[in-house]
Amino acid sequence: MLTDSSTAAARAADRAHVFHSWSAQGHIDPMPVAGGSGSTFWDYEGNHYLDFSSQFVNLNIGHGHPRVVEAICRQARKLCTVAPHFANDQRSEAAWLIAQHAPGDLDKVFFTNGGTESNEHAVRMARLVTGRPKILTGYRSYHGSTHTAMHLTGDPRRWPSDTGTAGAVHFFGPYPYRSAFHAESEAQECERALEHLEQVITLEGPQTVAAVLLEPVVGTNGLLVPPAGYLRGVREICDRYGILLIADEVMTGFGRTGRWFAVDHWDVVPDLITFAKGVNSGYVPLGGVILSERVAARFHDTPYPGGLTYSGHPLACAAAVATMHAMRDEGIVEHAAWLGEHVIGPGLRKIGEAHPSVGDVRGLGVFWALELVRDRRTREMLVPFAATGAQAAPMAELAADCRRRGLWPFTHFNRLHVLPPCNVSAEDARRGLEIIDEALDVADRYA
């Protein structure tokens, strides 16, 4: 029992019984978090951190937004839980608001408790609608950590639990900085990536492919903004072969890229969108699948064989309704776009020029990454692909230096991601960039 609110006591209590995700349990040392407000959180000793990771890239509206907190409390006083087969005003309003912001004819929402479940259900829906088994996903992707979602993931996190492909087929998406197609321009990368995808479909047998599932801007696996025509090209290929397009907007949705959904940057309408994280900033777990009219119609007379006890949980939906209203009233999505264009993008490019360890700078809105290298000319990565332990030391040192300077970073392999809340102030964004600029001297020592 935790009797004393100190960092040491919180650490000891955590170590005693909590089994942590993605971690060797003997090496865990999680920082106890005592509280948070806006773009900052702190420990029990009063050390404050500017949250440039938005926790797990879910905190689009910042910590402790008063409207969202109040909505959760109000709903808790009224009704804390309700089974999914009842109607509930918060669930209906959340679905209505989500449908309003979703592109095209995507206007029905199936609620889940997070991103992984959303992808599980979207894939099941696609298989039922098409009667086909296979799902194509990128090698550079993360789609979640249950059985199917893990097989669909391309990221090395798949390796330890990859007991069979179960209909998952991977392909290369565009990555101009490290082109798998030896392309020399963005246009060439786009053309060749589309040719490659079509070839994979042809060789797999289009009649066996239910869906292409992709992150419109790849998140954890590189912050890869696709070349201008890529997503439209994928949409056309899918249409040609009767394949459904599922956009995994778990990380990119609800303002992160400066639009409500990342597909809006290219006016592409998928058949299904999966979401979670930013829909209510993770104040209460919530995710879901947005279905197009055509996909939803398939289940008009035949029931959808799937559901969850907490689907459309009233506390989570109340938080989502308040979040979306706040985002609209406070212009948070527009602010994220403005920050990307006028503060974070230009700031990071300037930092990139000054530091030999920065090989590439890319992003949109409040969704950016610096790709770090040992040698700008050869593009040798600062740490090797899928680096662990000692190999990953330079990135661990960089992250520790950021933390020492009061910024909580998000690093993955040889990348430092820049992911503040969508409503971070310009002043805090600039302060964060200054810290990154100073901390990069650590990486430069290896370059």
CA pair distance 298, 304, nearest whole angstrom: 9
User: How many helical (H) and strand (E) elements, i.e. helices and strands, does the chain have?
Assistant: 14, 16
90 forms part of the interface with ligand PLP (CB under 6 A): no
CA pair distance 112, 286, nearest whole angstrom: 6
Q: Judged by CB, which is closer to ligand PLP: 41, or 410?
A: 410
271 forms part of the interface with ligand PLP (CB under 6 A): no
User: Alpha carbon of 238 to those of 233, 271, 272: distances in Å?
Assistant: 9, 10, 13
**DSSP reduced 3-state for 349:** helix
CA 417 to chain centre: 12
CA pair distance 131, 283, nearest whole angstrom: 37
Q: Judged by CB, which is closer to ligand PLP: 278, or 394?
A: 278
Q: Judged by CB, which is closer to ligand PLP: 114, or 233?
A: 114
Strands 244-248, 272-275: pairing kind? parallel
168 forms part of the interface with ligand PLP (CB under 6 A): no
Q: Judged by CB, which is closer to ligand PLP: 44, or 171?
A: 171
Shortest separation between residue 234's beta carbon and ligand PLP, angstroms:
16
Q: Judged by CB, which is closer to ligand PLP: 235, or 417?
A: 417
251 forms part of the interface with ligand PLP (CB under 6 A): yes
CA pair distance 304, 307, nearest whole angstrom: 8
358 forms part of the interface with ligand PLP (CB under 6 A): no
Bridge partners of residue 36, in order along the sequence: 41
Site residues for ligand PLP, 278-297, by CB under 6 A, read: 287
364 forms part of the interface with ligand PLP (CB under 6 A): no
CA pair distance 383, 350, nearest whole angstrom: 23
User: Alpha carbon of 1 to those of 7, 126, 415: distances in Å?
Assistant: 14, 47, 39
Return the structure tokens found at 91: 């669930």
Measured CA angle at 128 (ends 197, 311), to 5 deg: 105
Shortest separation between residue 408's beta carbon and ligand PLP, angstroms:
16
Q: How does DSSP classify residue 260?
A: S
Give the binding range for ligand PLP (CB under 6 A) out of 159-167, 173-181, 236-244, 245-253.
245-253
Shortest separation between residue 121's beta carbon and ligand PLP, angstroms:
12
Out of 250, 291, 296, 424, the residue judged to bind ligand PLP by CB under 6 A: 250
Note whether 107 and 294 are within 8 A (CB). no
Shortest separation between residue 276's beta carbon and ligand PLP, angstroms:
4
Out of 276, 332, 369, 436, the residue judged to bind ligand PLP by CB under 6 A: 276
Site residues for ligand PLP, 102-131, by CB under 6 A, read: 114-116, 119
Site residues for ligand PLP, 24-63, by CB under 6 A, read: 56
Q: Where are the beta strands (DSSP E) in 145-231?
A: 168-171, 209-214
Give the binding range for ligand PLP (CB under 6 A) out of 5-13, 120-128, 213-221, 403-411.
213-221
Return the structure tokens found at 369: 């990454």
Residue count, binding to ligand PLP (CB under 6 A): 16
Q: Judged by CB, which is closer to ligand PLP: 219, or 420?
A: 219
Q: Judged by CB, which is closer to ligand PLP: 54, or 414?
A: 54
Q: Judged by CB, which is closer to ligand PLP: 253, or 432?
A: 253
Q: Judged by CB, which is closer to ligand PLP: 114, or 356?
A: 114
**How close are the terminal C-alpha atoms of the chain, in Å?**
47
CA pair distance 322, 92, nearest whole angstrom: 13
143 forms part of the interface with ligand PLP (CB under 6 A): yes
Residues in the chain: 447
CA pair distance 151, 16, nearest whole angstrom: 32
314 forms part of the interface with ligand PLP (CB under 6 A): no
Return the structure tokens found at 37: 């407000």
Q: Judged by CB, which is closer to ligand PLP: 313, or 355?
A: 313
Out of 32, 62, 138, 144, the residue judged to bind ligand PLP by CB under 6 A: 144
Binding site for ligand PLP (CB under 6 A): 56, 114-116, 119, 142-144, 215, 219-220, 248, 250-251, 276, 287
